[in-house]
Amino acid sequence: MATGKVLSGRVALVTGASRGIGEAIARRFAAEGAHVGVTARTQEEGDHRFSGSIATTLTAIQDAGGAAIAVPADLSRAEDRVRVVDAVSGEFGPIDVLVNNAAITYFTASREFDLRRWQLMFDVQVLAPFHLAQLVIPGMQSSRSGWILNISSPAATHPTGPHYAAGSHTVYGMCKAALERFSTGLASELYADGIAVNALSPTGLVVTPGVVHHELDKRIPKDRHEPVAVMAEAALLLCSQDPQALTGRIASSQELLGEFNVAISSDE
């Protein structure tokens, strides 16, 4: 077992870990000694139009000397959620850290939004985190410790106006707002059990493959782009500190790192 690493001996499950923020968190946790379960729909390179896969994330972790297991899953399906938790806990033991990062997003005006897509977004971004939390909480309660982290977005905040900037992020913002309210409520429920629950948003724009696909990076000045390493480091803080001291937070990545005096180099 690795020593001197903040997650040594911990078992972590990171969803949406084929690319972007989820991949960075999974690799960072593994570097800090966690045994990491990674899951996403994209199992192998070429399965998706975007680069990245859980096989690639798994290889990167193992090549760096870490321990991981990759479990492909569609988190809109209840049976897949159960299967992922069973696979990770069967391989490494009870899950100590759950990071709900998986998302599927459509940017369409509300009056035109397909209700099947609306349901899919809520299933993946709200129901799946709720159900996965239900599945891992008993093990965390048994050990009297645990960390649940829900990845949110500045889109959860209310638009202000008039005049309003044009946008079609309403359903995405609804999902993230619900996720944040779930985070603070669950934190209050589990505080006495020694389990931390937090939500984390990027302070700037993390330029992931999905962001590029939707051309969101073209709408935000480059000086407001945020390296993915910032989110990974902030996630590590929220999943390694004393659950009695750091819980129930709706955290902004760069503000959190500043609070703990953690610096990320610009080339990370």
% pLDDT > 90, the chain:
78
pLDDT in tens, 110-130: 999 999 999 999 999 999 999
Residue with token string 């850290």:
97
Active site residue 191: no
CB 103 within 8 A of CB 173: no
Residue 103 has pLDDT above 60, yes or no: yes
Residue 266 has pLDDT above 60, yes or no: no
Residue 144 CB burial class (10 angstroms; 0-12, 13-18, ≥19) = exposed
Whole-angstrom distance, CA of residue 227 vs CA of residue 266: 8
pLDDT of residue 160: 87
| Residue in 106, 164, 172, 191 annotated catalytic | 172
pLDDT of residue 139: 98
Q: How confident is the model at residue 215 (pLDDT cuts 50, 70, 90)?
A: low
Instruction: Kindly give, in sequence order, each residue whose CB lies less than 8 Å from that of residue 102, ignoring residues fewer than 6 positions away.
Output: 15, 16, 22, 39, 40, 75, 124, 125, 128
Residue 236 has pLDDT above 50, yes or no: yes
Q: How confident is the model at residue 1 (pLDDT cuts 50, 70, 90)?
A: very low
More confident residue, 240 or 207: 240
pLDDT in tens, 64-75: 999 999 999 999
Residue 58 has pLDDT above 80, yes or no: yes
pLDDT in tens, 130-147: 999 999 999 999 999 999
How are the residues of the chain apportioned to helix, strand and coil, as percentages rounded to the nearest 5? Answer: 45, 15, 40
CB 90 within 8 A of CB 139: no
pLDDT of residue 213: 64
Residue 150 has pLDDT above 70, yes or no: yes
Residue 3 has pLDDT above 70, yes or no: no
Q: Look up the pTM and report it.
A: 0.93
Over range 254-267, report the average pLDDT: 86
CB 33 within 8 A of CB 1: yes
- Where are the domains positioned within the chain? 11-259
Whole-angstrom distance, CA of residue 140 vs CA of residue 125: 22
pLDDT of residue 164: 84
Residue 2 has pLDDT above 50, yes or no: no
Whole-angstrom distance, CA of residue 215 vs CA of residue 192: 44
CB 253 within 8 A of CB 202: yes
Whole-angstrom distance, CA of residue 196 vs CA of residue 43: 30
| CA–CA distances in Å: residue 243 to residues 125, 130, 188, 222, 257 | 24, 19, 11, 35, 17
pLDDT of residue 208: 75
| CA–CA distances in Å: residue 163 to residues 110, 159, 160, 171 | 19, 10, 8, 20
Lowest mean per-residue pLDDT among 162-176, 180-194, 230-244:
162-176
Residue 56 has pLDDT above 80, yes or no: yes
Token readout for 238 is 């929220």
Whole-angstrom distance, CA of residue 131 vs CA of residue 128: 5
Q: Which fold has domain 11-259?
A: Rossmann fold (3.40.50)
